[in-house]
Structure 1
Amino acid sequence: MHTIDDLLAIMARLRDPVNGCPWDVKQNFDSIVPYTIEEAYEVADAVDRRDYRDLCGELGDLLLQVVFHARMAEEAGHFRFADVVAAICEKMVTRHPHVFADTGADSADEVLTHWEAIKRQERAARGDEDTSALSGIARGMPEWQRAIKLQKRAASVGFDWPDVQPVFAKLHEEIDEVREAFAQGADPQRLTDEIGDVLFVCANLARHARVDVSAAMRHANAKFERRFRCMETLATEAGSQLASHSLTEQEALWDRVKARE
């Protein structure tokens, strides 16, 4: 049975300038980041499919990314993998006083409130002078996720609709503004602004519904892909290619696929 020490040793060997792997040796933080993000999404995909055997492998791939970054950091004299472990252990203990200290928390929402309060204290201790409720929200995360974070932070100080009905009203308002922009032949910049408002409100709608935006989009993408492939199959079975059908005929095939489901 291999251990984390074995993985660290393998990574060190791969990064050896003389006897290592040429591809691994030439990588840096910037070149590895896209792979780190990709592996995180593959973990999410395995969870979404409830494929636990695949999840085991994908978690290993994601762990490799952590080890890769830590190895490059150690080579540059920044920190080691052990420092990563120590930092996250300390953070987990500090941010869970209801478990490791005497502070109580009766609900998940209360835990999150304490978590954010502790994060603000940590930023203040580091000398971060940004006291906004929106401070500390990373800019590197997917924008839909950042939208949710911004909305949750605003809601934490009371800036939020009391229920979902005003969100629907706002969504209709923003869609009308997009429609108007198209009718006026608006330039791409205005359309970007207006469509962005629609997407921001959609994220807010998902938040009020307690629906994960990423999971919802994965489901929608999977549904579209499944139905589209079925359309292609129906066309092939009829002795033709989907591209040879008119839009009306294609829509009829789409309706047939939907009816089957």
Structure 2
Amino acid sequence: MAIMARLRGSDGCDWDRAQTFATIAPYTIEEAYEVADAIERNDPADIKDELGDLLLQVVFHSRIAEEAGQFTLADVVASISDKMERRHPHIFGDAATSPGWEAIKASERDDRSDTSALAGVALALPALLRAEKLQKRAARTGFDWPDADGPRAKIIEELEEIAQSSPDKLAEEAGDLLFAVVNYVRHLGLDPEATLRAANKKFERRFRAMEAAGPAFPTLTLEQQEALWRGVKDTEQR
């Protein structure tokens, strides 16, 4: 906090002084993903460094708020401490009268102006992750398919609607298809975000291997590139 106060001070860094909640929000999101990437790579040294970068974002936001007289870093820590204790009454309170996790969270939502079951699902989340969270919130109210057959049929329905769509409706129908795919993957008991990350990683690995296997790769015909792709895929599956 002292370092950040110095950076934001009159004799500090021009760039740091110019920042606002809005301008550093993208960096906060990016740093969270870099933590997740380091964890996926199982690199403790990088996890430590990336957690430090993420912590810096918390300190940065808190300093901006403190300068505006809104809250301090101590207030942030106190707020999350209170929330963790409130949501774990079986640990920090009377287990016999504990209302349960979902009931506690519902009560917290009741204290807000927006009392929808979907309240609090952040707009800034990546669209795939937000779709999953919206679906899970809706499911808590009973609005959900009983099994994976429903969302699977919905995917087929959405594909047909895309095929029949007018140009001005195509983006909307494509969005419906993606939403249905997230729902299907969720009903299979899988994490849509994690499964897509794995697919991205696999594609990147195979594409790089394909580039390395074929000289002047961009000059090859699509058929030649496809043959290289199949070769890389076969090698991985042996």
Check the 8 A contact 2:109/2:119 in 1, yes or no: no
Matching residue within 129, 139, 155 for 2:123: 139
Q: Distance in 1 between matches of 2:21 and 2:29?
A: 12
Deviation at 1:133, TM superposition (A): 2.4
Cα shift readout 1:86-140 (whole Å, capped 9, x = no counterpart): 00000110111222222469xxxxx9x93342233223334x2x44322332222
Q: Report the counterpart of residue 26 of structure 1 in structure 2.
A: 18
Instruction: Return structure 1 stretches of 4+ with deviation > 4 angstroms.
Output: none
Whether the 8 Å CA contact 1:48–1:215 is kept in 2: the answer is: no
Calculate the TM-score normalised by the size of structure 1.
Answer: 0.84
Paired amino acid for 1:166: G
Q: Provide the residue aligned with 1:3 in structure 2.
A: none
- The one-letter amino acid paired with 1:167 is P
Q: Does 2:223 align with 1:256? A: no
Report the secondary structure of 2:214's partner residue.
helix
Q: TM (normalized to structure 2)?
A: 0.92
Please report how far the alpha carbon of residue 70 of structure 1 lies from its aligned counterpart in structure 2 after TM superposition.
0.4
Number of positions where the alignment pairs a residue of Structure 1 with one of Structure 2: 236
1:13 is aligned to 2:2: no
The letter of the residue matching 2:131 is A
Q: Which residue of 2 aligns with 1:108?
A: none
Structure 1 residue 218 corresponds to structure 2 residue 193: no
Alignment-derived partner of residue 191 in structure 1: 170
- Corresponding position of 2:108: 122
Change (3 A) 1:229 1:208: same
Verify: 1:230 aligned to 2:230, yes or no. no
Aligned to 1:172: 156
Q: How much does 1:51 deviate?
A: 1.7
Task: Give 1:63 deviation, angstroms.
Answer: 0.4
2:50 aligned partner: 58
Q: Which blocks of at least 5 consecutive residues in structure 1 are unaligned? A: 1-7, 106-110
Q: 2:217 aligns with which of 226, 238, 242?
A: 242
Task: State percent identity of aligned pairs.
Answer: 56
* Matching residue of 2:185: 206
Q: Does the 8 A contact of 1:74 with 1:80 survive in 2?
A: yes
Residues of 2 paired with 1:143 and 1:103: CA distance? 38
Conserved 8 A contact 2:210-2:229: yes
Q: Distance in 1 between matches of 2:119 and 2:101?
A: 14
- In 2, the alpha carbon distance for the partners of 1:114 and 1:171 equals 35
Residues 144 and 203, structure 1, Cα contact 8 Å, conserved in 2:
yes
Structure 1's 144 and 23: CA in aligned 2 closer, same or farther, altered over 3 A? same
Which amino acid in structure 2 is aligned with residue 79 of structure 1? F
Deviates more, 1:30-39 or 1:162-171: 162-171
> Structure 2 vs 1, CA of residues 71 and 131 (structure 1 numbering), >3 Å: closer, same or farther?
closer
5+ residue gaps, structure 2: none
Distance, in Å, in 1 between the alignment partners of 2:38 and 2:222 is: 35
1:184-218: CA deviation from partner (whole Å, max 9, x where unpaired):
xx21x411111111111111122212322222121
Deviation at 1:252, TM superposition (A): 0.5
Q: Distance in 1 between the 2:163 and 2:96 partners?
A: 50
Superposed CA deviations along residues 149-208 of structure 1, whole A, max 9, x for unmatched, are: 221122112111111122211111112222233xxxx21x41111111111111112221
RMSD: 1.9
